[in-house]
Chains A and B, each alone.
Chain A
Amino acid sequence: MKLLPTLLACTALAAPLLAAEKKPELRDAEAEYYRIVTLPTPPSVLLEAGALCFLGPDRLACATRFGDIWIADGVLAEPPAPKWKQFAGGLHEVLGLATKDGALYATQRGEITKITDDNGDGRGDTFATYGDGWGINGDYHEYAFGSKFDKDGNLWAVLCLTGSFTSDSVYRGWCVRITPDGKTIPTCSGVRSPSGIGMNADGAMFYTDNQGPWNGADALKELRPGAFMGNPSGFKWFDHPATKEAIAAAGMKKPAEPKSGSRMHDEAKRIPELMPPAIMFPYPEMGQSASGLVADSTGGKFGPFARQLFVGDQSHSTVMRVFLEKVNDRYQGACFPFREGFDSGSLGVEFASDGSLFVHGTDRGWGARGGKPFALQRLVWTGKTPFEIHEMRAKPDGFELTFTAAVDPQAAANPASYTLKTYTTIYQSSYGSPKVDETKPKITSVKVAPDGRSARLVIDALAEGHVHELHLPGVRSAEGKPLLHPDAYYTLNQIPGI
């Protein structure tokens, strides 16, 4: 008989949980480096933003879950005083917004719509169906999240399954892309319940998928054309008369069925199309509902994290930070806590021309820590650089960390300043997964670079396919400060060769 691993933690029932002394508020410490500015929204309007898109340096389009599109001028002013005007209404839960040649492209549940203002009165007049090559059957779960234009002029949409377990409409559980001539191309299978889509700094398309069947943890995954993202519920469309020709024409073949109860990295060796998550967001340490993502393209206006990704978490009302590297042609990397304390459930993130990060939130249908039904906020770098892990790279025998400031070499060179454990999740058809196969590798040595800006950790046994959870409680900056977030979670699908 198997022991239930999840129950091991339950025995110490009577232990007090509230420490007598409370930690100082993390959000107050974070605010010293990144401050939150709340924008006024149109009076008496529930502005549950589903997607944002900048139309000019200081002009923002904001589409809502109710289906309206509002445009504001003056969103970057301080104190903020945006002037709002309704551009369109009555659309079907817009969760993607892009712009090209003066037109807005809104991803609704059932289609992507090109909206143009023909008479220049500030309101959309022509609503032309741009791409509607997927199905929709009336289930609330069938969301569609739309991207910005990629470098070839395509718009991508990730299409949520019909429920948690089924694909009852065409391409549900798939990613499709709409070409500039309006063709819908099936692109990836295996999607479950996406909550955001966007490109990294290289222009590769990524999306977040939420914990559930065949998804042991919330994850960030690369949408490489032809890839299978892990959940086979939508495999039926490979053989369906309505779709099989289009799928074959896109060069896609039905992957082998994954085996429930296995591990993702094992199955990925057997199923070449299977794309393991670039990042697993440990549940619930990092969050419980990973959402929108955006690459820092500000060239330093947002602080020291140029080219890194910022990812929302709806449930925790946070924004997380992600560093990616490519190992053996696969993206992988680390996620770090970045900023908490947003007013509602962070659903999307978007950079403005001044390098501030817009975060929009809603908690309708899914509760969030923030507590407000909706919020539109800006995260502004104060100009002060926090002491943070900058990058975390995998090495054949460990990790290399870089820091945003020089470290105290003595503390950083001491393996006792770090704690490390690894685990993975079960790749299974039932909902979610506990953390399993835990290991505690030993940090055998740490070498600090002469400039104090990096540390090389040698580890006795890296665990392939595992999240490596690293804490750095003993690391101090040269000035003696602890790290603002002494935590990193590296998803090690590939161990780099020597």
Chain B
Amino acid sequence: MPNFRILRRAWTLLILIPALAGAAVDPGEILIAEMNCTACHTAAEPVKTRLATRQSPKLGADGVRVSPQWLRAFLENPQTEKPGTLMPDMLAALEPAQRAEAAEALTHYLMSKQPADTSVQAGASSATIKAGAALYHSVGCVACHAPFDLPKDAASTPALKDELAKLAAASVPLGDLAKKYTVSALAAFLRDPLKTRPSGRMPAHKLNEGASTAIAMYLLRAQVPAGEATKLGGLNYDFYDVSVPELPDFSRIAPTRSGTTATFSLSVAGKKNSYALQFRGNVAIPKEGEYTFHTESDDGSRLYIDEKEVVQNNGIHAAQENSGKVKLSAGDHTIRVVYFDGDGDSVLRVSWQGPGLAKQEIPAGVLSHEGQPMQPLGTAPFTVDLAKAARGRFAYEELQCAKCHGSLEQQWDKSPVVPQARALAQLTAKQPAGCLATKPKSGVPKFDLTDRQRVVILAQLGTQATLAEPLTTEQQITRTLTTLNCYACHARDRRGGVEGLRRDYLSSTGEVDLGDEGRIPPHLTGVGAKLKTEWLKSVLWKGGAVRPYMATRMPQFGEANVRALPELFATADLPQPPPAEPGPDEAAAKFGRKLVGVGGLTCIACHNFAGKPSLGIPALDISTSGERLRADRFRRYLIDPQALRPGTRMPSFWPNGVATNKDILAGDSEKQIAAIWAYLGKGKSADLPDGLVQGKQEIVAETEAVIYRHFIAGAGSRAIGVAYPEKANLAFDADQMRLALLWQGSFIDAAKHRTGRGTGDEAPLGHNVIKGPPGAPFAVLASETAAWPQEMGKGAGYKFLGYRLDAQRRPAFRYAIAGVEVEDFPSAVRGEVDAGLTRTITLRSAQPPATLYFRAARAERTIEAKDGAFLVDGKVRMKFPGAQPVVRSSEGKSELLVPVQFSNGAAKIVQEITW
């Protein structure tokens, strides 16, 4: 029996948990409030205040937007269509035919009140559905609803699948969503569920348009048709979570997620900075002629019509407009706009002007894309039948739907005679009757109750006098945390918290290495003593959040539903009188700054500060401490983090109250902590702590060559960078034994690798960066036309042997392949402007292969010049004194090969490179 799962869950919590004294709330009382009994059974004000009854979903112009076929089915049989719904069956006592007729009439009436869906019809996108699946399982949906997939990285075992099935049975059912919603209606609901369901039982998860559409498309994936794509309004977009200094090559990177949007809207990115977007679709050209397109963007953008670049607006800049002209015929043409944002403001405006068309932003109405249309299952043409709607309107009043859902009319034409329910106070704890009867009479709501639920409701009705007394503080907290299911994620005292398999769905965003603190929501034990009341308000209904690394988001339940909580927490948790909050102390703050920075306690080794990344893991931004925390709790936490947050990785720098740093403030623990508090209290306006922002650490070759082995972008993880004093530089890839990069000028900035944990590839710092040919440098070819082998590195039998340094510390790289030992010795040669490079490659072999080739270049085109040099792609010149290189065309590219001629077991190739 799937009925009333939510209530049974809440009720289980209350009955089975060893309650702290005075904190429990009677389960019958919770049921009375959740079922909204006082909508019909009137109650006195103090009782209503105490019950804080759940509000029903809104209908009509500002109400829920559902499909007529779902509405009809739901009205006919609420529990079948949405298991666990709290909506009673109002038509239960009717004969099947009457029942169908009444449901039909109500459907027409309610649809006549529901505004028409004018949104862009969604086209199915498998990438969006995939992104939606990831979001559904990570942002917090599965704290209450059933997961569909096993946790990420979990091996699929029968035991785990069994556990997943059990979890589904203990979750809030979703019902038949694919029949109920369009993608845009469900997405709109997910963005702002409180608008139509003000009770906050379904909270908002801070989802933007892109994320809400992705989750909606995932939940409605049963709507994806098998057929052909058709023309739909709006554009496709691809979102890329990348930090780039200019427009990336979109053909080479995979989007983080994709979706559809009405127009060129940056809101689909869902983040403020550091991303790229691509919009794709068609634009309907009204009339043949010359059109001018404009993009105004911050930072860069480009616009393509029919895949020809029309507007070029690349680079980091403030909002700037660039334009381009193109002649177009009437009708659809493809349009593609690419955009990226680095930092600061973000702007994108796409405009056009043309024959008879003044300059304006391109209106959404002319944009379209191809897609597979998604629509609610069972959709049939539906027009409101006015006669049926009129009957439905009468039924709405007769069934007293307005008691819960409100009136949808200014005034009623004529009122049916309706029975009046008895007041709550007149109800007694006798045998179930009325709406508690197993078969209620016509016109009486039928709730789907278990016998046990009837028993607790009756028991509560028998002791009604208590309902007039206010709940205690702890009871009010328990009731709110229960009915809003805060306990699904948060523990308080000994109740709640994420349990069992659900725990495995909580994850961190990316690889942040913060352990459980990076993924499990914080406990609420003593939260009123930890957080300032203002900050609690911010978290509960103003979207305040400080843990961006946590994939699960703190949802928003609506101010009306949680308004009392901050004060309740404070009353319950703060000692009396509350500890004093010290005021600003500039003198102390100076020492605090020392302690927070490098050279002090280096809090910034782990903690972000004022939006700037820490030197290590991205632990919580401590510049928010003053705004959020109470001073006394901060002090107690610093002294013994484990006591207040068991399992935290935060170490104590004052173990047993004794300062580990003896230098600052003479090692006085209290003064040190007070100083840090004073400093953090300055928030983001504080002067940054020492060591947070690291400068450039350029590596310079002064008089001899310098080596830098590290992660170098374009030269692999076993890269060996070499700087020559002549200001030529190279990077050798010791995985593939190839000269991967050559460049001139400055060598490399090591700051990234020498700051914090040193994550990521570093790119060359200088200019004129050119790439060596990919893959293996040498290969034995069966003939001069045979394709160059794909295998490389260890996979092709190469073995790296290291390098030898000469007197000027210049390396000769050594490796072996096919019984040949190779020594590749590059040296820099000063040029008129920039230095060049000469490679002397020496090969030795006891049994030299007959047809060994060196591949010097793989390019679009190679031209042999009069002086015997080869010009590669019009940029790089190479000369091979004493050798007879061949230029060949292979697999659509031009290759420059040098045959290796052994004599007495040795061979030599000299390659002079200038660029």
B513 touches A163 (CB 8 A): yes
Give the interface residue-count category, chain A. 35 or more
CB contact under 8 A between A164 and B511, given known A110-B718, A288-B649, A365-B758: yes
Q: Is the CB of A371 within 8 A of B503?
A: no
Contact A91 B709 (CB under 8 A): yes
Query: Is the CB–CB distance between B153 and A432 below 8 Å?
Result: no
With a cutoff of 8 Å between Cβ atoms, the chain B residues found around residue A113 in the complex are 802
Q: What 0/1 pattern do residues 354 to 384 of A give for CB contact below 8 A with B?
A: 0000000001111111111100000000000
Chain A CB within 8 A of B657 CB: yes
CA distance A166 to B599 in the complex (A): 34
Q: With the chains together, A303 CA to B640 CA distance in Å?
A: 34
Q: Which residue of A lies closest to B641 (CB)?
A: A284
A138, B718: Cα distance in complex, Å: 9
B residues in contact with A373, CB < 8 Å? 598-599, 602, 691
B764 shortest CB reach to chain A, Å: 15
| A4/B491 in contact, CB under 8 A | yes
CB–CB B803/A163 < 8 A:
no
Q: Which one of A46, A129, A371 contacts B601 once the chains associate, using CB atoms below 8 Å? A: A371
Judging by beta carbons under 8 Å apart, are B657 and A126 in contact? no
**8 A Cβ contacts from B406-449 to A:** none
- What is the distance, in angstroms, from A30's C-beta to the closest C-beta of chain B? 13
CB interface residues, B 759-774, toward A, < 8 Å: 759-761
Whether A44 is near chain B, meaning CB under 8 Å from some CB there, is no
Check B600 against A371 for contact (C-beta < 8 Å). yes
B600 contacts across to A, CB distance below 8 A: 371
Interface residues of B in 670-703 (CB under 8 A from A): 670, 691
Q: How far is it, in angstroms, between the C-alpha of A257 and the C-alpha of B757 when the chains are bound?
A: 32
Question: B516 and A67: CB pair below 8 A?
Answer: no
* Contact of A141 with B513 at beta-carbon distance under 8 Å, contacts A13-B526, A371-B599 already known: yes
Assess the B642–A284 pair: CB atoms within 8 A: yes
Contact assessment for A138 and B761 in the assembled complex, using a CB-CB cutoff below 8 Å: yes
Contact with B along A379-411 (1 / 0, CB 8 A): 000000000000000000000000000000000
Q: Within the complex, which residue of A25, A141, A165, A367 is in contact with B658, where a contact is CB–CB below 8 Å?
A: A25
> How many positions in chain B have a CB within 8 Å of any CB in the partner chain?
82
Residue A92 at the chain B interface, CB threshold 8 Å: yes
Q: How many angstroms from the CA of A89 to the CA of B811 in the assembled complex?
A: 12
Does residue B644 face the partner (Cβ distance < 8 Å to A)?
Answer: yes
Bound Cα distance from A166 to B811, whole angstroms? 35
CA–CA, A19 and B504, complex, Å: 40
Q: Within the assembled complex, what's the spacing in Å between the Cα atoms of A271 and B400?
A: 66
Contacts of A22 in B (CB 8 A): 656-658
Q: How far is the CB of A270 from chain B (nearest CB, A)?
A: 15
Count of inter-chain pairs, beta carbons less than 8 A: 196
By a CB distance below 8 angstroms, the chain A residues around B493 are 7, 11
Residue of A nearest to B605 (CB): A367
Q: How far is the CB of A3 from chain B (nearest CB, A)?
A: 5
Chain B 740-782 interface 0/1 with A at a Cβ cutoff of 8 Å (1 = within): 0000000000100011111111000000000000000000000
Q: What is the minimal beta-carbon distance from B646 to any residue of chain A, in angstroms?
A: 4
Known A90-B709, A363-B605; contact A1-B516, beta-carbon cutoff 8 A: no
Q: Decide yes or no whether A212 CB sits under 8 A from chain B.
A: yes
Given A367-B651, A371-B601, A10 and B523 touching (CB < 8 A)? Answer: yes
* Pairs of residues from A and B, 4 with the lowest C-beta to C-beta distance, nearest first: A90-B707, A367-B605, A365-B757, A431-B515
Q: Could you jot down 29 A-B contacts, CB within 8 Å?
A: A1-B12, A1-B499, A4-B491, A4-B497, A7-B525, A22-B657, A66-B754, A67-B709, A67-B710, A110-B718, A125-B804, A127-B803, A129-B802, A132-B718, A138-B760, A139-B759, A140-B760, A257-B155, A284-B642, A288-B649, A317-B660, A364-B755, A365-B756, A367-B605, A371-B601, A371-B660, A372-B599, A430-B504, A432-B516
6 additional A-B residue pairs with CB within 8 Å, beyond A4-B494, A431-B515: A7-B491, A113-B802, A141-B511, A212-B515, A367-B603, A432-B647
Residues of A within 8 A of B (CB): 1-4, 6-11, 13-14, 17-19, 22-23, 25, 46, 66-67, 89-93, 108-111, 113-114, 124-129, 132, 136-141, 163-166, 212, 257, 284, 288, 315-317, 363-373, 429-432, 434
Residues of B at under 8 Å CB distance from A?
A: 12-13, 16-17, 153, 155, 491, 493-494, 497, 499-500, 503-504, 511, 513, 515-516, 523, 525-526, 529, 573, 575, 598-603, 605-606, 615-616, 636, 639-640, 642-644, 646-647, 649, 651-653, 656-658, 660-661, 669-670, 691, 706-711, 716-718, 720-721, 734, 750, 754-761, 800-805, 811
